[in-house]
Chains A and B, each alone.
Chain A
Amino acid sequence: MAVISDQERSSSIFPVKTTGGQERTVATFVANRAVQKGKPIYSVLALDTWKGYVLFEAPNSQVVDESIQGFKHVRSKIPGMMQYSDIEKFLVTKSMVAELNVEDTIEIVAGPFKGMRAKISRVEKEKQEITVSLLDTAFSMPITIDAGYAKLVGRAKTDVPQAQS
C-alpha cells in the first residue's frame, strides 16, 4: 500500500447537493469551469452510490463555493468537509468473483434469470464469469453469467462431518 505524505493529504472532499438525476451534468459543468478559470479543484465525482450529490476534491471549501456559484442544478453545499478515507470505500470496487467458490449458492440479481437461485459449478476469474446450475428449475441447466449478477446467499460446506463412534 502506498504511503501518503502530509502534502498529499492536503485535499478534502466537499459534498454538494444537486437536482436529482443531474449529478453528471453538474460534475461536467463545474469541472470545465474549474479548468477554464484555473481553480484548484483536483477531481469531481458523480457516484451512483451518492444519488443527488456530487463530490469535489479540493484544498479548501472556498474554491468549491466559487466554482458552483450560479449553476441552476446546484441546490446547496453541505457544510463541513469529509476526509478522503470516508469515500475511499466507494472507489475501490471489490471484485465479486474473488469471493465466489464452486458449490456456493447464489441468487441471480440481474438478467433474464433474475431472482433465481443457483449453485456454482465453475468460476472463471480472468473473465469475471461463473457457470451455475439453476436450483429452481425441474432440470439442471448450466448457464454462464457475469459474476456481477451474483449475490452470495450460501457458502459451500467445506468441512466434512466426522462419523460418530
Chain B
Amino acid sequence: MRELACRKCKALTTEKACPNDGSTELSKEWSGLIVIINAEKSQVAKTLGIAKPGRYALKVS
C-alpha cells in the first residue's frame, strides 16, 4: 500500500492518520526517504528536528 506523508511532522504512514501527531493532513506527494533508527545519536534526526524513530519524508508538498 502506498505510504502517505504527514504535512506537519513528515512521518510516513499507510494509515488514515499520522502515527506521531494524529494529523489527518496527509500527502501522497513526498520525496526522500529517511529511516531514523536511533534518534538520540543520529545527527540527521537532530538536523531535521526528529525526536522519534520511524520512517520520514525529506520533503512533503
Contacts and interface: CB of A to CB of B under 8 A. Distances in A.
Interface residues of B, number: 20
B5 to A, nearest CB: 13
Interface in A22-78: 23-24, 27-28, 31, 34-35, 40-49, 57
Contact of A88 (B34, B41, B47): B47
A146 B59 CA distance: 14
A40 B38 contact: yes
Interface residues of A, number: 31
Interface string B1-44: 00000000000000000000000000000011111111001111
B51 interface: no
Q: Choose among A4, A10, A42, A48 the residue with the greatest number of B CB atoms under 10 Å from its CB.
A: A42
A113 interface: no
Interface of A is mostly: mixed
B58 to A, nearest CB: 6
Nearest to A24: B33
A34 B33 CA distance: 17
Contacts of A88: 47
A45 B46 contact: no
Nearest to A128: B61
Contacts of B31: 48
Interface of A: 2, 4, 8-11, 23-24, 27-28, 31, 34-35, 40-49, 57, 84, 88, 91-93, 146, 148
19 contacts: A4-B46, A11-B42, A28-B33, A31-B35, A35-B37, A41-B37, A43-B37, A43-B38, A43-B45, A44-B34, A44-B35, A46-B32, A47-B58, A84-B44, A91-B44, A91-B48, A91-B58, A146-B61, A148-B61
Given A35-B37, A48-B31, 4 more contacts: A31-B37, A57-B42, A57-B43, A84-B44
